[in-house]
């Protein structure tokens, strides 16, 4: 499911939208996402990779593996690129994860790799 944000023109949407299957198929896209680190990335604050921008776009990842719930966030990850944040490889990985999701499900706005 995809939660459509409220930043678009009125009327302000705020609803869950069912997604179609990913272009590459579930097994391939899941492998791409796990290879990119979707299950292992730390929270941005844990690795001092939080650029503290007041407004923008953020990714929140929630998982439930073997009944263990976990959530982490990267706000404005494109601002956490060098030279400002020399040790933010995690932000670049979060951008890659967003790109994979955007490409696989045809979601504009998820691919922030060309931002900034």
| 3-state secondary structure labels for all residues of 27-48 | HHHHHHHHHHCCCCCCCHHHHC
Residue 72 lies in a domain: yes
Residue 49 lies in a domain: yes
- The count of structural domains within the chain is 1
Q: For 87-102, what is the mean pLDDT?
A: 88
Percent of the chain with pLDDT over 70: 77
Joined tokens for residue 8: 């678009």
CA distance 56 to 35: 27
Residue 38: give the domain boundaries: 21-105
CA distance 21 to 43: 28
Residue 1 lies in a domain: no
Confidence (pTM): 0.80
Residue 55 lies in a domain: yes
**Three-state DSSP class for residue 58:** strand
Residue 4 lies in a domain: no
Q: How confident is the model at residue 84 (pLDDT cuts 50, 70, 90)?
A: low
* Residue pointed to by tokens 């990714």: 59
Q: How confident is the model at residue 55 (pLDDT cuts 50, 70, 90)?
A: confident
Residue 75 lies in a domain: yes
Residue 56 lies in a domain: yes
Residue 12 lies in a domain: no
Q: How far is CA 21 from CA 1, 49, 106, in A?
A: 11, 32, 10
Percent of the chain with pLDDT over 90: 41
**For residues 113 and 11, which has the higher predicted lDDT (pLDDT)?**
113
Among the listed residues 108, 105, 110, 103, the one whose alpha carbon sits nearest the alpha carbon of residue 77: 110
């Amino acid at each position: 499911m995809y939660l459509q944000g409220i930043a678009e023109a009125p009327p302000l949407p705020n609803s869950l939208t069912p997604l179609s299957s990913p272009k590459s198929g579930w097994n391939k896209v899941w492998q791409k996402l796990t290879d990119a680190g979707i299950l292992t990335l730390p929270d941005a604050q844990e690795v001092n990779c939080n650029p503290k921008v007041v407004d923008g776009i953020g990714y929140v990842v929630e998982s439930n593996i073997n009944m263990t719930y976990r959530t982490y966030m990267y706000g404005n990850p494109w601002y956490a690129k060098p030279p400002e944040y020399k040790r933010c490889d995690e932000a670049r990985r979060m951008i890659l994860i967003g790109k994979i999701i955007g490409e696989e499900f045809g979601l504009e706005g998820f691919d922030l790799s060309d931002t900034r």
